[in-house]
Structure 1
Amino acid sequence: MEASLTFSFFLIFSGAALLASVALFTRQPLLIAYIALGALIGPYGAGWVTDLELLAEIAEFGIIFLLFLLGLDMQPQALLHSLRKTLNIALLSSLCFLLIGYGVSWAFGFSQREALIVGAAMMFSSTIIGIKLLPTTALHHRLNGELMVGILLLQDMIAILVLLLLISMGLGEFSATQLGKTLLAVPLLIAFAVTTVRYVLLPLLQRFDRFHEYIFLVAIGWCLGLAEAAHAVGLSAEMGAFLAGISLATSPISQYIAISLKPLRDFFLILFFFSLGARFNLGLLGEIIIPSAVLAALILSVKPISFRYLLRGALHSRKLAWDLGFRLGQISEFSLLIAYLAVETQLIGSAASHLIQATAIISFIVSSYIVVMNYPTPIAIKDSLRRD
């Protein structure tokens, strides 16, 4: 009998609290506890939580709110400046990681198409881990924070193009018209967001700023509304949420909104990491453990080095360049979307999909260890490295 959603939430959050306590006592990053819990009580473990499709959809809100909060603290001019600085870095690094993923998977006997898709999944770094582990002061007021945001956003744009291409391949056709419409939707969505905020939302928020519940409702409605609008025109919901945040960043109450939504973001991010562990079929581990370990080792080694040297012109401090390189040293939640979509459309087999998933889990865990143990983060175990 399938457990109710309430009972599933009880198991997830009670179990997360228990494993998080163990993680803190043993000085481990908390997200490892959430992934481990998913593997333990998900359908491929004890089988106590089985409705993963619903949980995965709910967990997506965590990424949406993360991007919305990020946008709330970004001024549009600063964002454009950082995007111009990081365009070449994002393109060159993505090509490098594509070749690594292709080469390793091809060497382990995967087909050429599977190798290309695995390579495409290696191109991106995790927005969740990158932003979650960067101190707020560095994220919003320092050059390394601006550069990280610029790189991650450009990677997200590349990821959207990859997902569109995979959808077209899955349908057996490539629609240049649909791609053109999607690209045209970006400036139209920006114009809509700026106009709506200026003439509708800001006047409403200024008039009723004493009612905190109203501000909270308007903020969530705007975030989810623009996320859904972006999804409807072929973009990602995450990009729509980020645009929703950017458009409100000039509001004097943007910081109040950001503080109010942080607990909600963390609630959904716990579900995201749980669903990541729960969706991994442990029965396929023996088949893909060696290629995933080799691929993860290369990614974890090459990504920091690549970003360190690509960023040497933008960051004059070698220490800061290494810092940013290691923070971008994993693959992305977009990599998981590629894995899920490609296997659903039968572009790759289950083994190739799990190769991407296993590489993501390994890179998430090891990268988090490296950053939490060596660089300032809001969740550092050492007091000397803890920065809000």
Structure 2
Amino acid sequence: MAAEANANDLTQVVVLLAAGVAAVPIFKKIGLGSVLGYLAAGLVVGPFGFGFFADPQAIIHVAELGVVMFLFIIGLEMQPSRLWGMRKDIFGLGAVQVIGAIAALTCIGLSFGFPLIPSFVAGTGFVMTSTAIVMQMLQERGTMSTLKGQRIIAILLFEDLAIVPLLAIVALLGTGASAADASDRWISVGIAIGAVVALVLAGRYLLNPLFRVLASSGAREVMTAAALLVVLGSALAMQVSGLSMAMGAFLAGVLLSESAFRHQLEADIEPFRGILLGLFFLGVGMAIDLSVIAANWQLVAASVVGYMVAKMLLIYVVARLLGTCHAESLERAVLMAQGGEFAFVLYAAAVSAGIFDAQSNAILTATIIISMILTPLMVIAHDRLVPKKAPSTEGLTLPENVEGTVLIIGFGRFGQIVSQPLLARGYTLSLIDRDAEFVRDASEFGFKVYYGDGARIDILHAAGAGTAKAILICVDDKEAALKIAEVVKGEFPLVPLLARAFDRGHALDLVHAGVDFQIRETFESAVAFSRETLKALGEDDDVAEDVVEDFRDVDRERFAMETVGGIYAGRQLIRGNAQPADIIAARTGRARAAAEEERHRREEEQES
């Protein structure tokens, strides 16, 4: 019997893997995306497909760990200072959108003729956006690190923070809620706050020493186990205290975001995250109860349309009122139009509190799942209306065991100029760029440029970063350059790293990331342009050269102060009594006087 049970379990694992492996490439090939592929595969192998699984909820509960690990990786990208900078979006934009959407979606329930309390709870559940779907879509679209992506993440974070008070409200609205129940809920809120404080303290004072000790042991598998322990342990702590597991994992990621082990942790967690997140979408697809949909198809269809349209309109209006452009507002409305996995928890609590019966819960759950299925299709429709040509990587060569004296990451106009003196001196170059069209064009002019992202550790190793005598970051993307610098310094700390900076602020960020040399891309050309302008205005060559050199000295001093004391110190220098222009003018006056004196001396010598 035990052997049969084990064989059955193994069969289910094989079915899940086969379903995902078969469906996702097909759906991505026809342009429907991986999320829809997983959902469709889940429907096929679930109770209403071939019936390999009878209890999809069990799959979802396990696969929620994929969402947890996804949030941990997002947290690793969010330094505390960066998170603090998002506080207005989290508690401002997030609060306005959530509160406004609750009011709008409650009205949808009332318009269907349902009482106020069930309408409120149903609408509140639909307000909670699917973190798993939105994060996956942001990642696939490459917009997670952009400003519009960060705003969406801020809203999702506020929704996670709202979990505890919303569950407390549902319990208080339930039939037979007593003062004791209310007291218990307030105690639960206190426990949740205490758990967050405890996790922050543990992350600040325990995690980094722990990983240093484990790293010194040299056992790679122990580091992987420790990474999983941190993610799952923090998630469990938050779940026990009444918060979401995803919030706990996110906090753990934030606390480790400035750790020297950040990139190693991300590499260890990534494989588990991808598999479990796909498993979550498979579970959601299995959970579609076609019998409930068939018996109540009119109500389900009206609910899906009503809730999604109302939520989209509300998100769009809030975004526009807060100054967001039309394109970003529309994209945010489409991405966040669905209900989320938290609604399943909220509706289950409503059933326990006597607000819903089992039939209402099934209808609302079906509504949420259908909205999740429709979201990838709506995103595709949106992208077709605003088409963006995606670069094709067909026929491009990835780096593999490449060796070069110098590795240049980004071979555009800047990188090409940098390469010429190096080639003239006989140095061998390893070139990578992530612009597919450019890689093709470069081959026509005799350059062997490999296609690859310089922020990926495996690409760097394959491109010869480990044996290079210098690594040059010449990309024209500020965020990408900063991430590449952090990855390179973390993986190859002994290799000299030189970087192209976009502006002064970017140059400071690169210095703090550990680059050995940086230069603002327009600095030298602007200085040369200014020198020639002074000459055109009639200034002496020596005076023009002295003025430029004085400017270089002042700029170097200012940059050094900003690097050591932070941006604030640099701003104080600019705003203080000693303006850079005044310093240069004073030095220029002395140079001009010296030049005039020299000219008069020469004239006197000629006359005599």
Report which stretch shifted further, 100-109 or 266-275: 100-109
> What secondary structure, in the 3-state scheme, does the structure 2 residue paired with 1:331 have?
coil
Structure 2: distance between partners of 1:151 and 1:70? 14
| 1:383 matched residue in structure 2 | 390
User: Where does residue 24 of structure 1 map in the other structure?
Assistant: 28
Q: Structure 1, residues 78-121: CA drift from partner, whole Å, max 9, x if none? A: 22332323424333333343344333334445454432221111
Alignment partner for residue 157 of structure 1, among 141, 161, 178? 161
Task: Please give the residue correspondences for 1:45-124 in structure 2 after superposition, counting only pairs within 5 Å.
Answer: 45-124=49-128
Go from structure 1 to structure 2 and tell me whether the alpha carbon gap of 1:156 and 1:97 turns closer, same or farther (over 3 Å shift).
Answer: same
Q: Which residue of 2 aligns with 1:182?
A: 188
Cα distance, 1:279–1:243 mapped onto 2, change above 3 Å: same
Structure 1 residues 57-66 or 270-279, which shifts more?
A: 270-279
Mapped to 1, the partners of 2:193 and 2:116 lie a distance apart of 36
Q: Secondary structure at the match of 2:138?
A: coil
User: Who is 2:372 aligned against?
Assistant: 364
Q: CA deviation at 1:202?
A: 0.6
> Structure 1's 331 and 67: CA in aligned 2 closer, same or farther, altered over 3 A?
same
The offset of 1:58, in angstroms, is 0.9
2:328 is the alignment partner of 1:324: no
Identity %: 22
Q: Aligned in 2, Cα 1:101/1:319: closer, same or farther, shift over 3 Å? A: closer
TM-score by length of 1: 0.86
Alignment correspondent of 2:243: 235
**Greater helix percent: which structure?**
1
Q: 1:97–1:10: structure 2 CA closer, same or farther, 3 Å change rule?
A: same
Structure whose alpha-carbon radius of gyration is higher: 2
Aligned residue for 1:180, secondary structure, equals helix
Sort the Cα spacing of 1:39 and 1:179 in 2 relative to 1 into closer, same or farther, 3 A.
Answer: same
SS at match of 1:122: helix
AA in 2 matched with 1:224: L
In structure 2, distance between residues paired with 1:331 and 1:181? 29
Q: What is the aligned partner in structure 1 of residue 252 from structure 2? A: 244
Deviation, 1:381, is 11
Alignment of 1:311 onto 2:319: yes
Unmatched 5+ residue regions in structure 2? Answer: 394-433, 435-452, 454-608
Amino acid of the structure 2 residue aligned with 1:139:
M
Q: Which residue of 1 aligns with 2:232?
A: 224
The question of whether the paired residues in 2 share the 8 Å contact of 1:305 and 1:322 is answered with no
* 1:269 is the counterpart of 2:272: no
Match of 2:286 among 278, 285, 300: 278
Change (3 A) 1:167 1:224: farther
Distance 1:85 1:93, change over 3 A: closer
Q: Distance in 1 between matches of 2:109 and 2:392?
A: 37
Deviation at 1:382, TM superposition (A): 6.5
The answer to whether the 8 A contact 2:101-2:315 is kept is no
Shift of 1:243: 1.2
CA contact (8 A) 2:105 2:311 kept: no
Q: Which residue of 2 aligns with 1:353?
A: 361
Structure 1 runs (4+) greater than 6 angstroms displaced:
385-388
| Distance in 1 separating the partners of 2:256 and 2:282 | 31
Q: Distance in 1 between matches of 2:323 and 2:392?
A: 21
Q: Which has the higher contact order (CA 8 A, sep 6+)?
A: 1
Contact 2:39–2:281 at 8 Å: present in 1 too? yes
Q: TM-score under structure 2 normalisation?
A: 0.57
Judging by fraction of residues, say which structure has more strand: 2
Instruction: Deviation per CA, 1:152-210: give whole Å up to 9, x if none.
Output: 11112223322233356378446343333333345533432333233322123234435
CA offset digits 1:221-248 (Å, max 9, x no partner): 1111111111222222221111111111
Q: Which residue of 1 aligns with 2:549?
A: none
Where 2:127 maps in the other structure, the secondary structure is coil
* Equivalent residues of 1:300, 1:367 under 8 A apart: no
Q: Deviations over 1:289-320 (max 9, x none)?
A: 22332232234334344333323465554322
Question: Does the CA contact (< 8 Å) of 1:97 and 1:299 recur in 2?
Answer: no
Q: Is the 8 A contact 1:73 1:255 kept in 2?
A: no
Aligned to 2:537: none
> Which residue type is aligned with residue 383 of structure 1?
A
**Are 2:342 and 1:334 aligned?**
yes
1:196 aligns to 2:202 (yes or no): yes
Question: Once the two structures are superposed, what CA deviation does each residue of 1:261-312 show, in whole Å capped at 9, x if it has no partner?
Answer: 1221121122212222222321111333223322322343343443333234
Determine the C-alpha separation between the residues in 1 that align with 2:277 and 2:160: 18
Q: 1:76 to 1:176 in 2, by over 3 A?
A: farther
Name the SS for the 1:251 alignment partner: coil
Which 5+ residue runs of structure 1 have no aligned equivalent? none
